[in-house]
Structure 1
């Protein structure tokens, strides 16, 4: 894979990600919760910054964009549907638009639900996707602007990706997500193992992202709403997939 990925903790529990193309030296960042840690990571590696990729308008993902742009000269790219509430965009994306970070081609996916106009950045040849607050490690974003069926439709886009695809999400929420997931499927052995691994990783100061689509499909309750065994556990054997997803999301909201 020609892309190096650097995970940068920001604020209390956010992540930004640097993407570095080994072939061309081009560098992008996904989301800017704050500029200082990103500038420090660039300086440490002696990397320039060429582009800032923005997933959605929430302040904990964009509040450092203008400072980072001013100090690096990077161009800012984000969703056209969100343009009215993002920092000034140099490039406004629609779904299915593509772009390049060096020699690696990225695709823009509309994953509305958490917000309307939220996008993800998928690099299919590299099997990586930057999902921010749509699909999260063992969870999904709270639905602030969209609807439960809209979010379920967005999550299905991730479910169709190759199992080895690595999901780089926007927050370190995985330990609390695991506690909730176990209330839905307490006997899921893959989930039990993942929860133990998460506790060990966090105790050692490590990151629980990225995680593979394969692991998410085996353990993330929000991606398992279509499974008969999950519907049975919820007493919703005859419900639609979207209805079951909505029940799980409502339970998480009240957890």
Structure 2
């Protein structure tokens, strides 16, 4: 049942700009670092002479958490708006499909869209490295894969909370304001205590305790998703 709902959701988001957003985000991050390294090439190559690839990944990583949180915010809001703009919640929930399937399908769809965006970042980073003249025989494939996917795992609680807000609040300004605020605050994540979820996308990559952080992110994300699902199942739809 959820597979049918997921297929229908993917059809609904065609032409809504969600896939374009998933494409623009990694391209924007890579373009920003292309400009950064292009303007300060000699200086940065000297600073990162011992590990140019590590330096490139480090500079991109600084902006990955804010990009992921903003991406979560916008994708969740756009997904909710598909139903809100058409006032189709009542018709959707009147179909022979459970609310659990509807909620779960939207969660999976948002997660898949974000995964595609993160994979594009992992693929685009070595392209930038090649353009900058870095040694292609020393590409840190493991770090590139982690750069794209590991911060997203740490951000699952934020994804679950943002989707919950977006699907249960008709005024998307509330959900978007919350997400934008969280993304801006995440710029100062290194100063937060380790238990704060806003720090987890960064900690999932740089540590300490990356495995524990990822596990905590997935576990808390599951708890928040369950809470959102229970609320979604019980709420009245206008």
Q: TM-score range by the shorter chain?
A: under 0.3
Higher helix share: 2
TM-score of the two chains, using structure 1 as the length reference: 0.24
Q: Tell me which of the two structures has the higher relative contact order, counting C-alpha pairs closer than 8 angstroms and 6 or more residues apart.
A: 2
Higher strand share: 1
Computing the radius of gyration from Cα coordinates, the structure with the larger value is 2
